[in-house]
Structure 1
């Protein structure tokens, strides 16, 4: 009987690993950025359900391979410059100093300072770091400093925004990208950002939670690690509804997991057993892009219903939840809200933006805002694309 149970448990684990192991992404996924099952991560049923609800059109692999028109449509952005906007975590004391003498920059800092009723420019230039790192301060600071970098770019490379571009922003940077692309007005973005920053800060204070970055491989068992962490939280910590989710797909071998502190500590302590390496807690106070941010999502929906967005712009924005662009304005609003509780599909967005026929040259890429993390991630995903990368230092 004991041997039978052991064999049954082994069979169950094998079936689980087979279902959740890394598989080769087919051409349809490369073009459209649907889903992800890399590095042994079992994914999340909510993510799959959301994907199913927001897909404009389901395209089979055979259709993608056989229909050259779809390929040409997917690669129509081949010559467009690419702008990447950073999110929370890219901030540093002194940011924005290089942009202050450019036209309109000081006025933007003054407007956001008035809106948030605090001196954002002083906080960016002088800190202290502990205050700058707070969600309620960091989000408006990174947002406005990234827009200051846009003003720098207009002076240094005026030709970039004259024609169409492809844009993507990481987490908070998605709002910045929408403003730069003309999808959102600056005033409406401030209203939305105010709700986002304060509601996420409040959600973070409700429960002890955080985020954990890690390196994975084909042999990693991240799905099993999350499952074990939830069982541990229930049985040993008395947490009735533990949360531990993949919060960001950075590269094929780098992911961010977020949830209750107890779950993250368990994964860190047992990382070797599941083939996880380089586990490191991120300097944030909450489990962003998980269901622990559900209250913030509801606040965002309440605010965004009174905000106008438009997709009638020459620029394309690729969104975090899907890794794709969209021409439907209701999907823009939905993406901006749902990204708070769904993982950031950054790798998939990069596949969508940089996907092109073999031998075709990559356009210039500009990281617009503080820090250089998105350039580092791009180098890990696509070295050839990174060879045309520039950073607008601000």
Structure 2
């Protein structure tokens, strides 16, 4: 039986994130300083003091979440932890896949921060504000949601963006189509169909320009084989080849985050414990709903890190 590390995605950010790590550990402070320098921005000040609406902006939230995850990893490494000695796989939810790859050594910390800033800006710029939308559909199976999206599309883009498990799917695309799909989902028996307060239709075909920008950016950075395989969002398969990893990251911009299948893959491939490294506990909650046999543990405070180091 083995262990996997998972890394959270957008929505797990909160004002104050990572501050306790920075106060407790010089290794964590060094991570936040390096990210600030890579972005030429006092991002850590925004993370710890807000304002929340500025932290929530995609271009800020993405590198900020990565920084907290990597701060926790660096603290563990200072205590002698080596990913390849204790962990079989890594995976991350959307932007968290970049955090996973940084933790596994595929990208440097500075390059990961810059890639996520490019990704956030490119995703925001791909569609004029107001033209795209996303909605959470609770309580319908994926096949039913796919049918609802097809019925609502009428030539526009409307697709499943995230299959988060536990009966939670997120759809994305043109605003009119997503609104119609949400209405149809409610008629079909969804427990809830909620329009989300997001600024762009992430993980939809409308993100095509952002995918091309990421193809360019990923071609320019140093890429190493990860210390352990990464389970890619779009293929739910273990990858170790740097060029294939980059290709799947490009695909991920417009493709579905297959998180339910990822957790199921772990359960079917000998993983018994998932540690969620970084801000919040979203993935831990999802894992418990998807597969109750998995031990799911959130790691984001000094006490959490101490407990994990003892358990590993």
- Output the TM-score relative to the length of structure 2: 0.88
Q: Does 1:104 align with 2:45?
A: no
Extract unaligned runs of 5+ from structure 2.
302-312
Q: Does 1:297 align with 2:220?
A: no
Match of 1:180 in 2: 103
Q: What is the distance in 2 between the residues matched to 1:207 and 1:334?
A: 29
> Does structure 1 retain, via aligned residues, the 8 Å contact 2:134–2:173?
yes
1:244-259 to structure 2, matched below 5 A, reads 244-251=158-165, 253-259=167-173
Given the superposition, is the C-alpha separation of residues 354 and 198 from structure 1 closer, same or farther in structure 2, using an over 3 Å criterion?
same
RMSD between aligned residues: 2.2
Q: What is the distance in 1 between the residues matched to 2:201 and 2:61?
A: 16
> Does structure 1 retain, via aligned residues, the 8 Å contact 2:211–2:250?
yes
Q: Does 1:128 align with 2:51?
A: yes
| 1:160 CA drift (Å) | 5.8
Comparing 195-204 with 261-270, which one deviates more in the overlay? 261-270
Given the superposition, is the C-alpha separation of residues 142 and 327 from structure 1 closer, same or farther in structure 2, using an over 3 Å criterion?
closer
Of 274, 279, 297 in structure 2, the residue corresponding to residue 365 of structure 1 is 274
Q: What is the distance in 1 between the residues matched to 2:273 and 2:104?
A: 17
> Does structure 1 retain, via aligned residues, the 8 Å contact 2:8–2:283?
yes
After superposition, the C-alpha distances for 1:251-270 in whole angstroms (9 at most, x for unaligned) are 26321111122222222333
Given the superposition, is the C-alpha separation of residues 95 and 156 from structure 1 closer, same or farther in structure 2, using an over 3 Å criterion?
farther
Q: What is the distance in 2 between the residues matched to 1:219 and 1:318?
A: 21
Match of 2:307 in 1: none
1:1-394 to structure 2, matched below 5 A, reads 78-79=1-2, 81-100=3-22, 101-154=24-77, 158=81, 162-205=85-128, 208-217=131-140, 221-231=144-154, 242-251=156-165, 253-311=167-225, 313-356=226-269, 362-385=271-294, 388-394=295-301
After superposition, the C-alpha distances for 1:289-334 in whole angstroms (9 at most, x for unaligned) are 11111100000111111223222x4412111110111233321110
- Output the TM-score relative to the length of structure 1: 0.71
| 1:200 CA drift (Å) | 1.1
Please identify which structure carries the higher strand content: 2
> Does structure 1 retain, via aligned residues, the 8 Å contact 2:165–2:260?
yes
Q: What is the distance in 2 between the residues matched to 1:99 and 1:155?
A: 13
Q: What is the distance in 2 between the residues matched to 1:335 and 1:111?
A: 27
Given the superposition, is the C-alpha separation of residues 218 and 370 from structure 1 closer, same or farther in structure 2, using an over 3 Å criterion?
closer
Q: What is the distance in 2 between the residues matched to 1:160 and 1:228?
A: 46
Given the superposition, is the C-alpha separation of residues 261 and 157 from structure 1 closer, same or farther in structure 2, using an over 3 Å criterion?
farther
Q: What is the distance in 2 between the residues matched to 1:273 and 1:375?
A: 31
Given the superposition, is the C-alpha separation of residues 337 and 160 from structure 1 closer, same or farther in structure 2, using an over 3 Å criterion?
closer
> Does structure 2 retain, via aligned residues, the 8 Å contact 1:164–1:316?
no
Q: What is the distance in 2 between the residues matched to 1:350 and 1:255?
A: 15
> Does structure 2 retain, via aligned residues, the 8 Å contact 1:215–1:253?
yes
Given the superposition, is the C-alpha separation of residues 183 and 199 from structure 1 closer, same or farther in structure 2, using an over 3 Å criterion?
same
Comparing 169-178 with 152-161, which one deviates more in the overlay? 152-161
The 3-state SS of whatever aligns with 2:135 is strand
The 3-state SS of whatever aligns with 1:339 is helix
After superposition, the C-alpha distances for 1:51-99 in whole angstroms (9 at most, x for unaligned) are xxxxxxxxxxxxxxxxxxxxxxxxxxx32x2111001111011111121
> Does structure 1 retain, via aligned residues, the 8 Å contact 2:84–2:227?
no
